[in-house]
A and B are shown apart, each in its own frame.
Chain A
Amino acid sequence: MKSLQELENLKLQSQKLVNLRLGDRQNSPHKHHVLICQGTGCVSAKATVIEEAFHEHLAKHNLTEDVVVARTGCFGICEAGPVVIVYPEGAFYSHVTPEDAERITKNHLVEGNVVTDLLLEGSSVGDKIIPINEIPFYKKQKRVSLALCGLINPENILEYIAFDGYKALAKAVLEMSPKAIIDEIKESGIRGRGGGGFSTGRKWEFTMNTQADQKYIVCNGDEGDPGAFMDRSILEGDPHAIIEAMAIAGYAVGANQGYVYVRAEYPIATNRLQIAIDQAKDFGLLGKNIFESDFNFDLEIRLGAGAFVCGEETALLNSIEGQRGMPNPRPPYPAVEGLWGKPTVINNVETFSNIPQIILNGAKWFSDMGTEGSNGTKVFALGGKIKNTGLIEVPMGITLREVIFDVGGGIPNGKKFKAVQTGGPSGGCLTEEHLDTPIDFDNLTRLGAMMGSGGMIVMDEDNCMVDIAKFFLEFTVDESCGKCAPCRVGTKKMLNILNRITSGTSEMAELDRLEELAKNIKISSLCGLGQTAPNPVLSTLKNFREEYEAHVKDNKCPSGVCKDLLNYFILDTCIGCTLCTRHCPVNAITGEKKEVHHIDTKTCIKCNVCVEKCKFNAIEVR
């Protein structure tokens, strides 16, 4: 790639590849585009088989010339997967099976009749297809990081170029000084999306201002929060955006080498990213003298072995160096002394994905979105007791209520909302009273939760909050790197106390000790993992202390989750059918035929089989 002109020409040529998806039927050589989501979720639900099925049926109907089948990244609404969208209509098919490919091909692609019974609920009114951004799930979303996820084939650089791909890099290298780029990034106000929320522009500035013979750009793709998959989806759906952003960062700070650190558990993301890197090299967008300038930039993937702590930047850098992934105290910060002791910019995948658009559209475009102090959008992974589990991107400042009830579709099965955990195992639980708080970095931190990387797990009335705290703590206990004592031993001691609470062997004084220990781990741990690991316990202690007390004082789990505190009883409504007796694996139930039965609670192992078998709801758990 030699010039901006050459890139523009390539864009014009490539647009015909994607015009149909933008509703432009005239300038497209094809009649239909079939976009099949091939994010990890849909792939594990047979999306690749669906793709093969489409090819097979299109061949049968001689449509291979007229119809393009493209694999894309995640559409976000994983709950509805596997997802297939057919353009130009924008027909949004959900829960597609390989068998459905035949019907869609025959009815829709051959005969022109949308298969309405396969459409996503709410994506059509009668026979009329609603534009995708009008579907309730998408209506309140603002897709910047995910803009091209689900719209382009990530394995084809031309489709990225058709949507102004690499234009920001051209602009940066050909028209902007490094300082101008950093000023633009600073002015946009973008803060790190990986958890810390530090100003990206200032990070870059530190690195730019540090003199060194070698500098590095590192992309942190070591996404580790349980249930979070925003980085994975961006890498799977729009890998070129990351490559472009890292090259821009390299130009801005004076680095000629970048590393993308991705967990080995993300094979699809790694594969697509490698394809994208190879293509970028073929097109001269990586390598020597990019756009015939003096700027050289190369990129390599480094695979992580899946330790949660490697998401901490100094641990990640140690891991790239081939050391055990353990954090170092800061300062020195990586921006000054990072990879192999050299100044290193390290940003998260989602952060990078915003950069090209900030350069193209300007800082103001970005800072106009969001709230004071938290500009732009944020990607969240919705999970738990919520209807639309999946990936969403919303402007900062949207309320938790809007996210959970409008975008997320609310709580399934008519249950009542109880709490939402933001920030994964490092975050905290928020309650009903916080639902109308605008989401941004500072608000969440003030409430004792955190933005984290964007995990959002919803709990309903059936969830026991002590159990939830235990779940997150078990994770951090396992994932502590073992370096510093407060985290290594302290989190385990907290877990031991929680186990005593949920098994009815604790005492009230221990709640205070738990809180004291949690607070000390928070202030004295070496890295972010330990400093935030107590958050789920502290926030539930604060917001749901009565649940803890019920466990300790009354030996009761109000939500009926903690098995050790539950007992099974047979009510007088028992008709003596003996079904439960026959299925009880430990013979804990006795009773004569046609008489009320009895459970020996000492023998009972609380396996719940009797409840499931009883046809008369005669067994009570309390």
Chain B
Amino acid sequence: MRGKTAMKTVNLTIDDLPVQVDENMTVLEAALQVGIDIPTLCFLKGVCEVGDCRICVVEVDGFDNLKSACVFPVSEGMVVKTHTKKVRLSRKSTMELILATHSKECLTCCRSTNCELQTLAEELGITELYYSDESPEEVTYDDKSNSIIRDQSKCILCARCAHVCSKTQGTGILGFVGRGVKTRVTTAFDKSLADTPCLFCGQCVVSCPVGAISEKVDIDKVWDVLEDPDIHVVVQTAPAVRSALGEEFGLPFGTNVQGKMVAALKRLGFNKVYDTSFGADLTIMEEGHELLDRLNNDGVLPMITSCSPGWVRYCEHYYPEFIPNLSSCKSPHQMVGAVLKSYYAEKNNIDPAKIFVVSVMPCTSKKDEAARPELSVNGLQDVDCVITTRELAKMIRIGRIDFDMLEDAEFDRDLLGEYTGAGISFGATGGVMEASLRTVADIMESKELRDIDYTQVRGMSDIKEATLVLGGRIFRVAVVHGTAAAGRLLDLIKSGVTTYDFIEVMGCSGGCVAGGGQPHVTAKEKMKLDIREARANVLREVDNSKDYRKSHQNPQVQKLYTDYLGKPNSQKAHELLHTHYTAKEKFPLE
């Protein structure tokens, strides 16, 4: 929909049904209102609205050629037909052509049974493939990066990945190269993603309708250690995982499956199951005090959060001048890893080298983050393996666990077992800011504030701002999600148009709930529902239900400081919980 304010309606008929809709709607949107399901393939609401694939074609009176419903605007008196013979034959013919360039390895494909192309082929009645293969002569299979695999033989050139990469992420790593049947979606100079300034955010993965871009699957590493009696395997799950895992098992969007998830992890044989929200609370303690320190001692402002590894990579490659603004705090799961291999190891008398930390994350970039050499203590990586929400679902299926039948279970309660409503909020846009404010405001106002719902920073608009008065001082904050929007905000700051004290950036639009490691959602479902909202609401409900809703109230975080770290930003805390960043060239000369 185009962004116009005055709402005017128009009348049209679609398949003889009268329809009255907003004049800014497309034929596709109008059809949806009267329950007419026009098939789409390249369309992805808000991301890829270009009419490339020609599957959504319809007949519009007055035109000889067919129009793509996903981009064709409605108008007064328009007459649309969506399933005439002409339309059906066209869709079928186009589908046959698309399939002619697509690998037929459906049985072994990572998207088998979960592939939009496969579903569509069945829906359009494709029963034979007349045309021989017409794949480009050279197809790339790129599995060099820690996070993402590209298999060009499966690419259908729908361009969803390229659009999300340039439009939402502002990176443009993927684009079209070549002409005619030799056209490919690829990187600059056909480099491996590992050698590009890719953020590994995985938005391309969750935008891809087929198996052309997927996460690097690391579950075999996890199976191996689970069977090794000498290894103490600890798993932690990010806040956003519980908000989406249920989708993999047919549960409705926005179902909180925390209890079943924990039960499944215990069944799989992990020695301990913790919530990364504990790490989030710890992050607030460190980051909050870092912010206060910067405010009180003329430090570099605005301070910008650093828990999103996609955003950190974006900053290092695209806005290195803002590296001094990045909080030096490690991200929450890295903090948990570091605490597990020090404090936890000491308390439980376990050799840290025998502890294997698995993070279940809604994120593909976390895989790359965990491999960063600086995120280690005493030569041990903080986190040994990151698997995505999708991979956890895969493990549950391989483990033949009937997810539906599971009795809810609780996270382990010892040492790192507590978390607050602030900590769990980290999983959605605005959550880190809100959690920070709950702690920072208390400190600046020197009292326990009761009104702690910072609604200004909630919601899905891409740049959100708030101005507060704390401790007699004006305090300006911004929240931004999707790195393209982050880039726009940083440009405004650079040009001096605006300034802030503190900024939350999440690399993915909507935050971690819509991360690149979350379950695949079809374009059709995304058109009907903002899944970011549905998943974020799960976290909001948990937050509201918690007794402790401020990170500094977390008793086990308090105990960690008294027993081990001393106070926030202490030397010990710095050794374990803080890191540094490096400016990186986008395409260094070889």
Contacts and interface: CB of A to CB of B under 8 A. Distances in A.
B66 A524 contact: yes
B65 A482 contact: no
A224 to B, nearest CB: 13
A486 interface: yes
Contact of A477 (B53, B66, B180): B180
Interface string B57-79: 10000001110100111000000
Nearest to A489: B97
B433 to A, nearest CB: 33
B86 A523 contact: yes
A523 B65 contact: yes
Contact of B183 (A482, A493, A516, A525): A482
Given A523-B65, A523-B90, A484 B52 contact: yes
Contacts of A331: 72-73
B250 interface: no
Interface string A328-358: 1101000000000000000000000000000
Nearest to B184: A482
Nearest to B179: A482
A329 B51 contact: yes
A520 B86 CA distance: 9
Interface in B126-145: 130-132, 134
B249 interface: no
Interface string B283-316: 0000000000000000000000000000000000
Contacts of A522: 65
A568 to B, nearest CB: 32
A490 interface: yes
A523 B64 CA distance: 7
Interface in B87-133: 89-90, 93-94, 97-98, 100-101, 130-132
A480 B180 contact: yes
27 contacts: A307-B179, A326-B176, A328-B50, A329-B68, A477-B181, A478-B180, A482-B176, A482-B180, A482-B183, A483-B157, A484-B52, A485-B157, A486-B54, A488-B157, A488-B181, A489-B100, A489-B131, A493-B97, A493-B100, A516-B93, A517-B93, A520-B94, A524-B54, A524-B65, A524-B90, A524-B93, A525-B54
B39 interface: no
Nearest to A528: B65
Interface of A: 307, 324, 326, 328-329, 331, 477-486, 488-493, 496, 513, 516-517, 520, 522-526, 531
Of B68, B90, B179, most buried by chain A (CB within 10 Å of CB) is B179
A304 B11 CA distance: 43
B98 A485 contact: yes
A489 B134 contact: yes
A513 B130 contact: yes
A329 B57 contact: no
Contact of B54 (A326, A481, A485, A493): A485
B555 interface: no
Nearest to B64: A523
A490 B97 contact: yes
B51 to A, nearest CB: 4
Contacts of A482: 157, 176, 178-183
A513 B68 CA distance: 24
Given A324-B176, A326-B176, A523-B86, A492 B181 contact: yes
Contacts of B180: 477-482, 488, 491-492
B175 interface: yes
Contacts of A526: 51-52, 54, 68
Contact of B97 (A326, A478, A486, A531): A486
Nearest to B75: A331
Given A328-B50, A486-B54, 10 more contacts: A482-B157, A482-B182, A485-B52, A485-B157, A489-B98, A489-B131, A490-B94, A492-B181, A496-B132, A517-B93
State the 6 A-B residue pairs at the shortest beta-carbon distance, nearest first.
A482-B183, A489-B97, A329-B51, A480-B180, A520-B93, A492-B181
B101 A489 contact: yes
B157 to A, nearest CB: 7
Contacts of A488: 97, 157, 180-181, 183
Contacts of A324: 175-176
Contacts of B131: 489, 493
B53 A484 contact: yes
Contacts of B51: 329, 484, 526
Nearest to B95: A485
Given A329-B50, A520-B93, A526-B54, A531 B176 contact: no
A264 to B, nearest CB: 16
Contact of B52 (A307, A478, A483, A496): A483
Of A331, A493, A513, most buried by chain B (CB within 10 Å of CB) is A493
A496 B89 CA distance: 21
A522 B180 CA distance: 16
Nearest to B49: A329
A481 B183 CA distance: 8
Nearest to B92: A520
A307 B180 CA distance: 11
Contacts of A326: 176
Contact of A481 (B73, B86, B90, B179): B179
B481 to A, nearest CB: 25
A211 to B, nearest CB: 13
A307 B176 CA distance: 14
A531 B65 contact: yes
A530 to B, nearest CB: 9
A517 B93 CA distance: 7
A481 B134 CA distance: 16
